[in-house]
Every structure is written in structure tokens, then in C-alpha cells.
Amino acid sequence: MAYGHRTANARLESGADHQSKLTMQILIAIMFCSVALSTFLVRSGLPGFTALAPEVISAITAVCVVVIGAKQGFSNVQPKYWIVFALLAAFIICGIVVNEVATGPIVAGLRYYLRAIPFFLLPAVVDIREGWTKRHFWLLTFLCLLQSPMAAIQRKAVMDQNRYTGDGVIGTLQTSGSLSVFLVCAACVLVGLEVRRGLLRPALIVLLLVFLFPTMINETKVTVFLVPLGLLTTAFIGTMPGRRLRVAGAAAAFTLLLGSIFIPVYNAMQVNNPYPQTISLDLLTDNKKNYLEKRDAGVGARTYVGRGDAFDIPLRYVTQDTMKLAFGLGIGNANVSALGPNFSGKYGSLFEFVATTSFALFVLELGIPGTILVLLLHWFVFRDSVTVARTGEGLVERLAVGWVGVSVVMGVALFYIPAHAEPALAYPFWYFAGVIAARRAHLLQAPASRNTGRVIAG
């Protein structure tokens, strides 16, 4: 009789465990859809609070992570991450206290900085199986393919209105810059998944061209640098030593093919532009004058400064005061929040046109030590990706190959756009970084039990 009760209880527990894992799988899928589509749905007429769907999902995920983690522990979170998270929390609290940051900016700042972290921790407490990851890849592939027709429609609308800017070609995301970074990262993952099977397969090349088509018509010049950087890094890391030269050559040939299409298409878009910015041999000179640096750029600028200015101005500002250098202006205090004036920081209007990149906001709101800690987190993700990529041929190892390239691209993106505030970039980046970091922790705990046939993330 007692045995029968134990058997029944085991079945109930097994059923509950299966139900919870199914719930997590669905939650992850909803997250991917919400970060890629919520902004587009709001533009299409849905209520504005739809844009907060990723935060709602984050809150639900955070509760699940805390409950499951409390029962099972967080053994698959490496100590180095806990140390950096603890130090960051300390600097954030000190910045809030020193600057007497109001409640609204704190809420807005925490929203941007922490909302994707529950998905980073999720793989440490939940077993992310290969079937899940495959289905999520198919979903992400669909979302990436969706960007091409959307971008084509948006480009046609721009041209029909006799406008000559690619800023409105954003697919279903928030900005043209985030769309380009998102698709370049997707291309890195695609190459990472396939590089050990043969890089020059025609189907792979066609899919890459479709993925990257929107970057050709939305006029993000940084694509010229991000694509070779991401794809060549991915190909080099993902190839065994004896084949690296051949595969790197194939990757270089593809980037040349892409460039031979990208540059003529980009320049063709500028033919009737009264202020053309064609890609030519003097690209770097043009960018230094008109893109990296702007005349009269400084604190309180009323027009958007260049990317180089966004690097230089915050550094010069915080180094004038020891407390600002150490703790910044406080989380959320240098940002103009989309939630309204009550959530915008005291210095938001002062740096509205300066804090246009993640790096600028990190320096202004977290100070130099806080910025270093954030960059250190990205370095940890890169190192874990390299290590896991070299441990086998399973799905998570092939994902890690692509994530090496993604880590490099996202690292550059921190100096190009506010990448940490872009849901379509932050959520997938930290979720898959969590999968890889948890796999790395598992390998450290039981190096003899490596199994390359399934994803072990919990």
C-alpha cells in the first residue's frame, strides 16, 4: 500500500515537473515574440502598455527563478557572476544614495538594466533541453525572416514620400541600428550552428543574404564593419585548427560577396539624396567629420552628437568630480524615460542628445568602476562561449560558436546604440548567455560527464 502511495506521488511530482518545464518553454517563446513584436504592435494600433509585455514576462520569470532556485540552489551560476552582480548592486545603491535619485528614475533605470537578468539566471535552475532550443531557434528564424519583407515595405514607403533616410526602416524593432545589430547577431548564430558542417552550402548563403537584406537598405554604415567582424570571428573560433584557414577564407569570400551587394545598393539609395553619404574609400574621413564627431558637441547639446562624442563627453564630465567618477549620477538619472517626466532623471534633459549609446549611459549613471563591471560581464560571456564552443559537437556547443561572434558584435554595439535598453537585443543575448554560462558551470562541476548530444543548462 505504501509502495502504491509512493508510486502515485512520484507520478504526481513527475507530472508537476513536466508541467512547470512546459510553462517555462512557453514563457521563453512568448518572451522572444514580445521583444521582437511588441513595439511594432503598438505602432500598429495596440494600446501603449503592450510595449511593457517584456517587463511583465520578466517579472513572472523572476518569480519562477527565485522559487525554483530557492529549492534547488543556483549551483550552475558561476561565482564570478555573483561577485560582479554583487559589486554592481553595491555601486548602484551608492550612486542612488550619493545623488539622492528620485523613485521614478530608479524604477526606469532598473527597468533597463535588470529586466533581462531573470532570463540569464533561468537556465541555471531549469534544464534547457535540446528540443526546446531547436523550437526556439525555428521561432527566431521566423522572426528574422519577417524583418526582410517589413523592411522592404518601409523602404518603399520612405521613397514614396520622397524622403532619403533609412532611419524609418526598422522592421518590427525600435530603431534601424537595433535591427542591423539584431540581424548581424542572427547571422553569427546561423554560421556558428553550421560552420563545422560546411560553410559554403548554398542554402546557408541564401539564408544569410535574406537575414542581412534589411541592413542593406536601412543605411546603417556600421554593418560594413560588424558583418566581417562577427562572421570571421565565429568562423575562426568554430573551426578545428587544421581547417581554420580554409573556413576563414570561405567566410571572407562571403563577406566580400555581401559587400559587393551592400555597397552598390547603399550608394544607389543616395542618388537623389540632397545630402548624400555614399560608402567610398574616404568613408573613415567622412565618418570622422559627420558621424563620429559633430561641431559644438558637448554637455547640454540640443542635437544628437556623434558616436565619438558620445564616448568622449561622458568620460570628460564624470572625471571632473571624484564622486561622479566613482558612482556616476545614479541609475536612471541621466536618461529621459519613455514612461514620462516623472520617470526621467534630473540630468536627462542635459544629456538627452549625448547619452545615445550604452557606454555613455553606463559612464554617466554607473561611473567608471560600474562601467568596467558591465564590460567585465560581457567579457565573461565571451570567454564562456569560447570555452564551451571547444568542448564538443552538441547543439549548445554549436550555439556557443555563434555566441562568440554575437558577444563581439554586442560588445561593439554598446558603443554604437543603447543596446542594453533594446529588448530585442538584451533579452535574447542574456538568455542564451545564461544557457552557455550554465553549461560552462556544469562542465566545471563534472568535467568527466560531458554529453554533447543534449543541452545541459540546469
> Per residue in 344-376, pLDDT tens?
889 988 888 888 999 999 999 999 999 999 999
pLDDT at 273: 63
In a domain, 326, yes or no: no
* Residue 121 in this model has a pLDDT that exceeds 50: yes
Answer positive or negative: Cα dihedral of 186, 187, 191, 192.
Answer: negative
Domain co-membership, 111 together with 248: yes
Q: What is the mean pLDDT of residues 33-59?
A: 89
* Residue 455 in this model has a pLDDT that exceeds 80: no
Mean pLDDT score across all residues of the chain: 83
Q: Which cell is 426 given?
A: 538584451
* Residue 289 in this model has a pLDDT that exceeds 70: no
Domain co-membership, 341 together with 362: no
In a domain, 38, yes or no: yes
Give the C-alpha separation, 228 to 59, whole Å. Answer: 37
Q: Which cell is 410 given?
A: 554586442
Regarding predicted confidence, which is higher, 410 or 125? 410
pLDDT bin (cut points 50, 70, 90) of residue 199 is low
* Closest-CA residue to 56 (of 44, 38, 69): 38
In a domain, 18, yes or no: yes
Residue with cell 549551483: 75
Domain co-membership, 211 together with 254: yes
pLDDT at 292: 61
Q: How many other C-beta atoms lie within 10 A of the C-beta of residue 314?
A: 27
* Closest-CA residue to 291 (of 155, 415, 405): 415
Domain co-membership, 246 together with 346: no
User: Helix, strand, or coil here: 1?
Assistant: coil
* Residue 17 in this model has a pLDDT that exceeds 80: no
Q: Which cell is 245 given?
A: 584557414
Residue 198 identity: G
- In angstroms, what CA-CA distances link 374 with 89, 150, 382? 11, 33, 13
Domain co-membership, 175 together with 316: no
Q: What is the mean pLDDT of residues 282-311?
A: 66
In a domain, 325, yes or no: no
pLDDT bin (cut points 50, 70, 90) of residue 296 is low
* Residue 261 in this model has a pLDDT that exceeds 80: no
pLDDT at 133: 82
pLDDT at 259: 74
Q: How many domains does the chain have?
A: 2
Backbone dihedral region of 163: left (phi > 0), alpha (psi from -120 to 50 degrees) or beta?
beta
Backbone dihedral region of 345: left (phi > 0), alpha (psi from -120 to 50 degrees) or beta?
beta
Give the C-alpha separation, 346 to 352, whole Å. Answer: 11
pLDDT bin (cut points 50, 70, 90) of residue 450 is very low
Q: What is the mean pLDDT of residues 317-338?
A: 91
Q: Are residues 269 and 219 in contact, defined by beta-carbon separation less than 8 angstroms?
A: yes
In a domain, 454, yes or no: no
Give the C-alpha separation, 211 to 187, whole Å. Answer: 7
pLDDT at 79: 93
pLDDT at 274: 58
Domain co-membership, 43 together with 175: yes
In a domain, 251, yes or no: yes
pLDDT at 324: 93
Range with lowest mean pLDDT among 21-30, 244-253, 377-386: 244-253
Give the C-alpha separation, 247 to 245, whole Å. Answer: 6
Tell me the percentage of the chain whose pLDDT exceeds 90.
43
Domain co-membership, 268 together with 300: no
Domain co-membership, 346 together with 436: no
Domain co-membership, 251 together with 310: no
Q: Which cell is 134 given?
A: 531547436
Residue with cell 554637455: 299
Q: Which cell is 62 given?
A: 523572476
B/e letters for 4-39, b = 16+ CB within 10 Å, e = fewer, are eeeeeeeeeeeeeeeeebeebbebbeebbbbbbbbb
pLDDT at 140: 93
List Cβ neighbours of 198 (8 Å cut-off, separation of 6 or more).
Answer: none
Range with lowest mean pLDDT among 110-114, 247-251, 378-382: 247-251
**Angle between helix 223-238 and helix 176-194 axes, rounded to 10 deg:** 20
Give the C-alpha separation, 371 to 250, whole Å. Answer: 37
Structural element, H or E, at residue 389: helix 358-389
User: Helix, strand, or coil here: 178?
Assistant: helix
pLDDT at 315: 94
Domain co-membership, 443 together with 303: no
* Residue 451 in this model has a pLDDT that exceeds 50: no
In a domain, 144, yes or no: yes
Domain residues for the domain of 66 are 2-272+357-449
Backbone dihedral region of 78: left (phi > 0), alpha (psi from -120 to 50 degrees) or beta?
beta
Domain co-membership, 342 together with 412: no
Regarding predicted confidence, which is higher, 452 or 278? 278
Q: Which cell is 140 given?
A: 527566431
* Closest-CA residue to 414 (of 95, 147, 177): 177
pLDDT at 457: 35
In a domain, 43, yes or no: yes
pLDDT bin (cut points 50, 70, 90) of residue 271 is low
Give the C-alpha separation, 269 to 263, whole Å. Answer: 10
Regarding predicted confidence, which is higher, 159 or 153? 153
Q: Which cell is 194 given?
A: 553550421
Regarding predicted confidence, which is higher, 274 or 33? 33
pLDDT at 150: 95
Domain co-membership, 220 together with 252: yes
pLDDT at 387: 93
Q: Are residues 330 and 95 in contact, defined by beta-carbon separation less than 8 angstroms?
A: yes
